[in-house]
Amino acid sequence: MRLFATVILALGVVAAPAYGQRAPERPRAREAGVVVGVLAPGPLNAITDVAGVRVGQTTITEGDSVQTGVTAILPHGGDLFHERVPAAIHVGNGFGKLLGSTQVDELGELETPILLTCTLCVWKAADAMVGWMLARPGMEDVRSINPVVGETNDGVLNAIRLRPVAWQHVTAALESASAGPVAEGNVGAGAGTVAFGWKGGIGTSSRRLPASLGGYTVGVLVQTNYGGVLSINGAPVGREMRQFAFQRQLQAAPPSGTAMNPVRERADGSVMIVVATDAPLSAASLDRVAMRALAGIARTGGSFTNGSGDYVIAFSTADSVRRRTGSAPRAITDLPNDAMSPLFQAAAEAAEEAVYNSLFRATTVRTRAATVEALPIDRTLEILRRYNALGWDRTLPPGARP
């Protein structure tokens, strides 16, 4: 039985069949036989495999119209403001509201947790996190703080104009953060998201390099809300299911009486990607790792469309590169460029698998505004079998198996 660091605040009680009701638990991608890449995952196959990283989530469900939430990622369990981690933000497509990015770009460090939420709730979430930070011990004299808050637009399933995220939701996510397994699917900031026309959400994965490649761990967490043509291990799932972007325009003469579903063929949207590693990396090296996480998104069939905000936030938890406040010089040990390629591979693989986990774990959500179906797993697996895209671990050497 998994134990998840998730707080669910149900602000409206409805009888079954309920709006936003969770279906029985669905498997993660790897549990269903979808083995991505050649590197082995960590024991949890989650961003929390990177020592010290903690994740907390608040899911907000209100009646038949609100499906949203907050996901908090804490780089370590200490004083985040006074013991900052090096960080970088890489922009795949800048159609978004990533708060705090300019200071991260300038200084190359994080001084707060990372929050993910819905588009119109960014500023409310940031204000709540600043209040939470300022109230912590040792923060009495702080007069400037740079909250980092990312978002995707969950307005298909969520009454986003209500801006339902409040301080208690943010505080609950931050206070509940733990280093254990991470809940996936329609939880936290993924409660109302849509990916490839199916229900998207939160997904996570990790890769642990063998000692011969450095022994480091890379973990990824995604908030999926983007479109394209879904591909899983190279198998054209979206095409085979006839659910992909630009269907209306590509169909010269739609059958009489056929109405295309704009949710099923949507192309625009966004994806937030958080990459954590214990490899000792500078901000410049972290930007290079972040860029490779976008390769994982491309492998899933995303094309970074005009209206898609595609961002990667990468940070290192290594003590040797941590920045303590003050002006005293400190010796820094970080990896040379020639040691980076295994980390690039790990970031791409973990990002790809995290997306699949967000889809496999998500369940159908119905609100007053729309119904978004979960990815049909049985049909997906049938396609993957046909394209020989399952069980790839059978062909891997023992060191690449979990």
Q: Distance between CA atoms of 151 and 68, rounded to whole angstroms?
A: 11
Q: Distance between CA atoms of 54 and 284, rounded to whole angstroms?
A: 24
Torsion angles phi and psi, residue 62, rounded to 5: -130, 110
The one catalytic residue in 310, 316, 334, 358 is 310
The one catalytic residue in 65, 101, 270, 316 is 270
Residues 6+ apart with CB under 8 A from 21: none
Helix, coil or strand: residue 269:
coil
Residues 6+ apart with CB under 8 A from 381: 32, 33, 390
Pick from 114, 107, 108: nearest CA to 202:
114
Give the strand pairing for 83-94 and 323-324.
antiparallel
Q: Which two tokens stand for residue 224?
A: 């999926």
Torsion angles phi and psi, residue 24, rounded to 5: -55, 150
The one catalytic residue in 308, 316, 334, 358 is 308
For 300-363, where are the alpha helices, taking DSSP H only? 341-361
CA distances (Å), 348 to each of 112, 207, 248, in order?
25, 10, 31
AA letter at 224: T
What secondary structure letter does DSSP report for 339?
G
Look up 308 and say whether it is catalytic: yes
Look up 334 and say whether it is catalytic: no
Instruction: Let me know: does 360 contact 233? Beta carbons within 8 Å.
Output: no
The half-sphere exposure of 211 on its side-chain side, counting CA atoms within 13 A, is: 0
Beta-bridge partners for 93: 310
Pick from 268, 242, 206, 257: nearest CA to 49:
206
Q: Distance between CA atoms of 343 and 275, rounded to whole angstroms?
A: 11
| Residues with a known catalytic role | 270, 308, 310
